[in-house]
Amino acid sequence: MDSKMTEKLALFSENTQSIKKGFRWHDSTTRRLAALLYALESKTIDSEEIQRCHIMLKKNTGVFSGFRGDMSLCIATLLSLSEHPKRLLENTIDVYGKLTDVKFRKSEYLAIAAYLIASGTDNAGYPLAVERTKAFYDELKSFKWVYAGRDDYIFMAMLGLSDIDITSFKGRIEALYKMLKREFRDKSSVLSLTQVLVFCNASDEAVERMVSLSDAMKTQKLRYDKSFTLPALGVLALLPVDVDTTVQLIAEASDFLMNQAGLRRGSVSAQERLLYVAAITASEYSCRENASILTAALSTSITNIIVAQQITVMLTMIAASQAATVAMSAQS
């Protein structure tokens, strides 16, 4: 593990301790998320700016909106990392309204989907992004073997922002699902994993590599094949790093965090720790390939974990996808 990755892991650990001072009454997992968001941008946590954005958020949203509860700290953190937090909040609330107009149900998931769209395109692009998000969701609902619910909103928004063809979406999802359900047991997580792979335009060879990576991880007792962390496995398999190196990186990073205050056994579950390790690893390797990191999108995925009480790393797929694209370009 090189010095840059060690520095980012150490910064994450330091941030988890610093943020306790200003947000003691908030959920500890949510605080760790905020710490991670800053670490991924190589920034020391700014509790005062997060607090300012938190107050602004409370003033502009209703008590029973999807922007409250633990989500308020998550969204405040995302806003604090933007150049124009007030404008971004206004745009997020605007997109939230547009999504409810097309019959999406109000929820914390929808608040994050709205944030993703608001930060992922400009005002002129909102109608198309909302339209595509709804179209992907309707396609998902047409599957007889899956129940599409509010926990799919975030994934659908990511697809809505992409240039993926809606007409080919269903066929690829079904093909991947049939392939993966033979390898992994949890149907819900397999569905999430298929969405990661579709978003990243993963080939069948990449899927095979992911299975090999899972087997190699198990030998080191790194269980990315569990329901909470399965989507992260797809992310790691798409990085431009060979299987043995990936396993070594994850093992070393996990050991590092287990020796840090607030991140040891008893404080953080193994699955949650593996999530943070995957996020930091993906961000580091996308940087090495000179691919820009869409921090807001990555943050949204991890925020989805907090909302769903699941451990997943869906949005690191963006960093992984960019890194893989650069790697393929370099080979061509």
Domain hosting residue 110, numbered range: 3-331
Residue 77 and residue 50 in contact, taking contact as beta carbons nearer than 8 Å: yes
Mean pLDDT of 21-46: 87
Q: Which of 101-110, 259-268, 296-305 has the lowest mean pLDDT?
A: 296-305
Q: What average pLDDT is seen over the chain?
A: 82
Helix, strand counts (H, E) of the chain: 16, 0
Residues 295-315, mean pLDDT to the nearest whole number: 44
pTM: 0.84
* CA distance from start to end of the chain: 28
pLDDT tens readout for residues 101-155:
999 998 888 888 898 899 889 999 999 999 999 999 999 888 766 677 777 888 8
Between residues 307 and 311, the one the model is more confident about = 307
> Range with the lowest mean pLDDT among 28-42, 202-216, 317-331?
317-331
Q: Check pLDDT > 80 for residue 17.
A: yes
Q: Which residues, 6 or more positions from 268, have their beta carbon under 8 angstroms from its beta carbon?
A: 32, 257, 262
Q: Where are the alpha helices (DSSP H) in 238-315?
A: 243-258, 270-288, 295-308
Distance CA(252)–CA(246), nearest Å, equals 10
Assess contact for 117 and 95: CB atoms under 8 A: yes
Which segments within the chain are labelled E, that is strand?
Answer: none
For 63-85, write each residue's pLDDT tens digit: 778 888 777 888 899 899 999 99
Confidence of residue 13 (pLDDT cuts 50, 70, 90): very high
Count of beta carbons in the 10 Å neighbourhood of residue 234: 30
88 closest CA partner among 64, 62, 111, 65: 111
What is the band of 294 on the pLDDT scale with cuts at 50, 70, 90?
very low
**The predicted structure's pLDDT at residue 331:** 57
Smallest CA-to-CA distance from 180 within 138, 147, 152, 145 is with 145
DSSP state of 151: G
**CA 242 vs CA 20, 50, 175: distances in Å:** 37, 38, 25
User: If we measure between CA atoms, which residue out of 32, 315, 33, 318 comes closest to residue 192?
Assistant: 315
Q: How many domains does the chain have?
A: 1
- What was the pLDDT predicted at 323? 52
